[in-house]
Structure 1
Amino acid sequence: MQISPSILSADFANLQAELDAIRSADWAHVDVMDNHFVPNLTLGLPVVESLAKVSPVPLDCHLMIDDPDRWAPGYVEAGAESVTFHVEAAADPRGVARTLRGLGARAGMAIKPNTPWAPYEDLLPDLDMVLVMTVEPGFGGQSFMADQMPKVRAVRESVRRFGGEVWIQVDGGVSAATVEQCAEAGADVFVAGSAVYGKDDVPAAIAELRALVAAHAHP
């Protein structure tokens, strides 16, 4: 059970200090948006490269960008240890995943709320993580979509059948109020933005999420 605070909710003028504040987390979740695949622009390769040099925890880059086939490998070279691309944006999802793994990173594949899981189940052997979006990607601070829990369960069932070591990540509106149902549905990596960075005591917020998911872990 891993906690991956999203720096999308952090103070962009003080990112080194904001990363230091989450040293008790497992990952720093870095949202990369290109204003094409999603209607928002955040940060890209030069910032990721700078973050990788100072982060006390490994970087988990979530690429909400067009043409990850071309751009995703650069994020491994910039220092990300986990890179997640959107299956809706990839020309050759299996090829992207294999390239990421070949470069030494964990390969993640994200699916948007309206994207079904079943057509992509056969990609599991080439993946280290599946990210089930629990909001429409593009902006932080949105409301959690509980209707995505059956999809989390479906991915968990596929992973059980396939038998590999594939993590299931949830991202969007994850908080102390929603994280338990994510854990019960089978998620094991939890991205939380405002639920961590919106709190006065960031380490306490991380500890609270950890305690909640530990109590509701799937079997």
Structure 2
Amino acid sequence: MQQPVRIAPSILSADFANLGAEVRAVDAAGADYIHIDVMDGHFVPNLTIGPMVVQALRPHSAKVFDVHLMISPVDNFVTAFAKAGADIITVHPEAGAHTHRTLQLIRSLGKKAGVALNPATPVSVLDYIMDDVDMILVMSVNPGFGGQSFINSQKDKIRAIRQRIDAVTAGTSRVIDLEVDGGINAEMAPVAISAGADVLVAGTATFQGGPEAYADNIRRLRGPLV
């Protein structure tokens, strides 16, 4: 059974000169998670932040730090981000040789483990790791930059993964979150939710208009389900 939709503002779209204040502002505005995109300029064509920034931001919010690692090789940095204050650590199967081992490492550090599927990554990549994931992230844009448009083909992928999650968790107390990241705004949020998403990552749609607009932006993303 799906929980109410949760909103995870991506600080990729925040004011990087005032990141601490931005995190406090979206926290106060009603964000459920703080989504932190980590890019290495190698696995994806952009370069963002490292563990020291996550550690510096940690005192600014008690909300879940949802850290998405778009770096390769990823295993070398999992422990550092865990120590820096990540609560959820999400990795890409293509970013390491042994996805199962990476997920085990994340969980061994007391963190929730997520796996991210790029637009061209097939759902079958989940076949032998469903027992080891706490979250599945569908990238509805190609990762690397904010402000892109939702790729419509990903709606079918979200639905397919929702079915898998429901089948695995039926009759148990287990929870696997289904998160969608890319092109999420007030128009696309209901589309992702109806397809089965229960966590929405939104950068531009959250941070547009400045801090005084954040609460209204988040409410619009939640839509009529609230």
Which residue number corresponds to residue 100 of structure 1?
106
Which residue number corresponds to residue 4 of structure 1?
8
Secondary structure at the aligned position of 1:59 is classed as strand
Residue identity over aligned pairs, in percent, reads: 44
Q: Is the 8 A contact 1:52 1:58 kept in 2?
A: no
Q: What is the CA-CA distance between 1:118 and the residue it aligns to? A: 1.4
Q: Is the 8 A contact 1:37 1:65 kept in 2?
A: yes
Which residue number corresponds to residue 149 of structure 1?
155
Q: Is the 8 A contact 2:189 2:222 kept in 1?
A: no
Q: Is the 8 A contact 1:72 1:85 kept in 2?
A: no
2:185 aligned to which of 170, 175, 180: 175
What code does the residue aligned with 1:183 have? I
Residues 77-124 of structure 1, C-alpha deviations (whole Å, 9 max, x = no match): 110101111111121111111111111111010010001011323211
Q: Hey, what's the Cα distance between the residues in 2 that align with 1:91 and 1:72?
A: 14
2:168 aligned to which of 162, 167, 182: 162
Which residue number corresponds to residue 195 of structure 1?
205
Q: Is the 8 A contact 1:20 1:56 kept in 2?
A: no
Alignment TM-score, normalising by the size of structure 2: 0.91
User: Are 1:211 and 2:202 counterparts?
Assistant: no
Secondary structure at the aligned position of 1:122 is classed as coil
Q: Hey, what's the Cα distance between the residues in 2 that align with 1:11 and 1:170?
A: 23
What code does the residue aligned with 1:17 have? A
Q: Hey, what's the Cα distance between the residues in 1 that align with 2:44 and 2:132?
A: 25
Q: What is the CA-CA distance between 1:211 and the residue it aligns to? A: 2.9
1:131 aligned to which of 137, 150, 160: 137
Which residue number corresponds to residue 67 of structure 2?
61
Q: Hey, what's the Cα distance between the residues in 1 that align with 2:155 and 2:32?
A: 23
1:35-46 matches, cutoff 5 A:
35-46=41-52
Residues 134-153 of structure 1, C-alpha deviations (whole Å, 9 max, x = no match): 00000011111121011111
User: Are 1:19 and 2:23 counterparts?
Assistant: yes
Residue ranges of structure 1 left out of the alignment (5+ in a row): none
Q: Hey, what's the Cα distance between the residues in 1 that align with 2:70 and 2:61?
A: 21
What code does the residue aligned with 1:210 have? R
Alignment TM-score, normalising by the size of structure 1: 0.94
Q: What is the CA-CA distance between 1:183 and the residue it aligns to? A: 0.4
User: Are 1:87 and 2:93 counterparts?
Assistant: yes
Q: Hey, what's the Cα distance between the residues in 2 that align with 1:52 and 1:157?
A: 35
Q: Which runs of 4+ in 1 moved over 6 A?
A: none
